[in-house]
């Protein structure tokens, strides 16, 4: 066999940065080839297609991001946990120069048809999978908070509400790019769920 001349993980990292900054459709295989120093044909040989390359790169990101969220949700009062969760979310959306937004939300809205039909069903499942896992983390945190008497509502409904707000923040970030506004909305959401005082 002839050995590969590039590092698999390096390519995934560099490719994902391209996808994140320019979108899956906006990033071209030529761009990725230029940035990685790997020729376009080699990328196709190694990954099969642009979508397959994206999926691998996305799974890498999803794992890292989920771990960071889990850590943010894991310490302090419920209010502190949720605050850390939203902080990390907004910071993630606003990372990069210029800010890159939310890759999950962007990827989701870039898809072809709706669920069921659609060629990029694999991508949709990857995006939906991360959202579901984040929702589960939040719900667990709320349930634990409820047992400690820090929250008295429906953890499932509240988690769904929170994930909805985070997706909305991703959209407003693209519309207005107003980071203080995003943080105000996040704080307001926590107040709505836990009450304005103490919590």
153 binds DNA (CB under 7 A): no
Applying CB under 8 A, what is the total number of residues that bind a second copy? 50
Give the up-direction half-sphere exposure of residue 119: CA atoms within 13 A in the CB hemisphere.
4
CB of 44 to DNA, least distance (A): 4
41 binds a second copy (CB under 8 A): no
CB of 110 to a second copy, least distance (A): 6
Which one of a second copy, DNA, none interacts with residue 133, CB within 5 to 8 A by kind? none
62 binds a second copy (CB under 8 A): no
Helix (H) or strand (E) holding 157: helix 155-176
Q: Is the peptide bond before 114 cis (omega within 30 degrees of 0)?
A: no
The one among 42, 77, 91, 143 contacting DNA by CB under 7 A = 42
Buried b (16+ CB within 10 A) or exposed e, 78-88: bbebbbbbbeb
The one among 9, 10, 45, 68 contacting DNA by CB under 7 A = 45
181 binds a second copy (CB under 8 A): yes
DSSP string, 56-99: HHHHHHHHHHHHHHHHHTTSS-HHHHHHHHHHHHHHHHT-TTTT
Give the up-direction half-sphere exposure of residue 82: CA atoms within 13 A in the CB hemisphere.
33
Site for DNA in 48-107 (CB under 7 A): 48-51
38 binds DNA (CB under 7 A): yes
112 binds DNA (CB under 7 A): no
């Amino acid at each position: 066999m002839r050995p590969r001349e590039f590092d698999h993980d390096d390519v995934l990292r560099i490719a994902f940065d391209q996808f994140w900054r320019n979108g899956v459709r906006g990033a071209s295989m030529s761009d990725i080839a230029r940035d990685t120093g790997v020729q376009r044909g080699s990328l196709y040989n190694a990954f099969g297609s642009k979508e397959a390359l994206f999926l691998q790169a996305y799974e890498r990101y999803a794992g890292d991001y989920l771990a960071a969220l889990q850590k943010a949700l894991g310490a302090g009062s419920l209010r502190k946990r949720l605050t850390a969760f939203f902080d990390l979310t907004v910071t993630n959306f606003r990372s990069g120069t210029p800010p890159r937004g939310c890759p999950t939300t962007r990827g989701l809205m870039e898809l072809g048809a709706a669920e069921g039909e659609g060629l990029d069903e694999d991508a949709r499942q990857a995006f939906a999978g991360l959202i579901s896992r984040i929702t589960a983390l939040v719900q667990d945190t709320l349930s634990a908070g409820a047992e400690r008497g820090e929250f008295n509502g429906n953890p499932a409904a509240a988690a769904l509400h929170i994930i909805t707000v985070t997706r909305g923040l991703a959209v407003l970030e693209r519309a207005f790019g107003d980071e203080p506004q995003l943080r105000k909305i996040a704080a307001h959401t926590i107040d709505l769920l836990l009450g304005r005082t103490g919590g």
